[in-house]
Amino acid sequence: MVKKQDEIIKSTFEEKKKQIAKNQKRYFKTKKQFFGLVFSNEHISVKVIETVKEFLEEGCIHKHCVFTNEYYKKDNSLILSAKVKGIHIETVQVSLENFEILQSRGRGNKASKYNKDIIDLVKRNMHQIGARMKKAS
């Protein structure tokens, strides 16, 4: 019985790895123009999430749905990770249609004490996202 369970777990794990690799190729193709984009001030650093694995990590750290709801498949959204002094604080979703922040959430899908500062930092740098879109067109 244990051997059968181990085989099922291994098979499921291998399927997940293949699916993540497939999703990574698609994500790279649709979002590569934004990779390397970072906004920061003296305390906060916000960067574009560049891999599907980072979506998984972000979802696990904050215990929210950025990975399970497959935000990496949302063509009209850009997902960023905000850190304070190197510690993951919030995940930010930006609309690529109207360049507005759709949500910025931390642990347990709640706003952190840095929420306003993170939103302000992203808003002040929204033009950089727009510039990357125009450049890719």
Distance CA 107, CA 103 (A): 13
The alpha helices in the chain, defined as continuous H runs, are: 2-31, 52-62, 115-124, 126-136
Domain count, the chain: 1
Distance CA 67, CA 89 (A): 16
Q: What is the mean pLDDT of the chain?
A: 91
What is the pTM for the complete model shown?
0.89
List pLDDT tens digits, range 19-75: 888 999 999 999 999 999 999 999 999 999 999 999 999 999 999 999 989 999 999
The answer to whether 72 touches 55, Cβ cutoff 8 Å, is: yes
Share of the chain above pLDDT 70, in %: 90
pLDDT category, 7, cuts 50, 70, 90? Answer: low
The CATH number of whichever domain residue 109 belongs to comes to 3.40.630
pLDDT category, 125, cuts 50, 70, 90? Answer: very high
